Amino acid sequence: MRQSLFNGNATLSQWIGREETVEDVITPSLVGRFNATLGFKSAGDVAPLLIHLCLGLPAVPEAELGPDGHPARGGFLPPVPLQRRMWAGGSFTFFAPLRVGPTVRRRSRIARVTSKTGRSGPLCFVTVEHHILQECSLAITERHDIVYRDPKPGETGGTRFEPAALGAETRRITPSPSLLFRYSALTFNGHRIHYDTPYVTSVEGYPGLIVHGPMQATMLCHLAAELQGAAPRQFDFRSVSPIYDTADFTLNAERTDDGCRLWTAQIGGPAAMEATARW
C-alpha cells in the first residue's frame, strides 16, 4: 500500500517555500523559431506573448530522465510518488512586454502542495509562483498548477463527451507530429506523450499523441490579443480534458462584458482548455 503523500522520508510539504532563480535571454533566433512553429508574427524588439515559457529550462542529462522522459523526481519540484504529471492550468498577469535582448530573470517559489483522492485515485497538486523580471522591472507574474496522479486501470482516453460548441471566433489547428515535436523542442520538454506514438499508445494507453497544455494556452492568449488589438492584462486558464493528434482542434473565443472567454476543443470533442482574458 502506498504511504500517505505527506508521510515517510520525503515529506512533500517540506518543499513549500522552496525557491529558485534562473536567467535567460530572448534571442532573435528564439523568436524566429517560436513564430515559425506557432504561425505567429512579431516585429521590432517586443517579444511574443508567453515566449517566456521557453526560457530558463532545466538542462537535465539524459541519464537523469525518467522512463516517461520527464526529469527524475526531486530537485526544485517535490518528488511526488505518482506516475503521471500534467500541466493543470494557471494564470498570467502582464505588467510590461518582454523584449528581445536584455536578460530575463525568473524567480520561482513552491506556494502549495496538497493531496486528495479523486475519482481516478490519489491526486497531488503543486502550485508554483513565478515572477518574471527584465532590467529589474516586473514584467509578468505567473501561477503554474501541476497535477500528479497514477494511471487508471485499462485507461484508454476514449471516454465520450458532448461536443463543445464553436465560438463566435474560431481557428482550426492541425496537431501535426512536426508541430508537437517542434514545440517540445522549443520548451526542451522530453515528455514522451507529446512525440513518441508507440510509447503514448502502448505504455500510457492514450489513443494518440497529446497536445501540450502550454501550447494551447499560448495559442488562446494570442487569439485574445488578436481580437482585442492588445495584449491582455490578465489571462487565466485550466485544462479540463486532453486533445490528441488524431483529429484537428479549434481555438474558440467569445467576447464577454469584462473581456473574453476562450476554449480549445478537438473536432467532435469536449472543451479541452478553458480560459478568460481581461484588459
Cα torsion 146, 213, 178, 70 to 10°: value is 0
- Return d(Cα 185, Cα 181) in angstroms, integer: 6
Residue range 116-135: mean pLDDT, rounded: 90
Residue appearing with cell numbers 464577454: 256
Taken in order of first residue, the domains within the chain and their CATH numbers are 12-278 (3.10.129.10)
Residue 119 has a pLDDT of 73
pTM value is: 0.91
Digit-coded pLDDT (tens) for 49-98: 999 999 999 888 898 888 888 887 767 888 888 888 888 999 999 999 99
Q: Helices H, strands E: what count in the chain?
A: 4, 10
Distance from C-alpha of 217 to C-alpha of 212, rounded to nearest angstrom: 9
Confidence of residue 150 (pLDDT cuts 50, 70, 90): confident
Strand pairing class (234-239; 84-94): antiparallel
CA-wise closest residue to 90 among 275, 278, 279: 275
DSSP 69: S
pLDDT tens across 193-237, in order? Answer: 999 999 999 999 999 999 999 999 999 999 999 999 999 999 999
List the one residue out of 128, 124, 155 whose CA is nearest residue 242: 155
Split at pLDDT 50, 70, 90, the class of 5 is: low
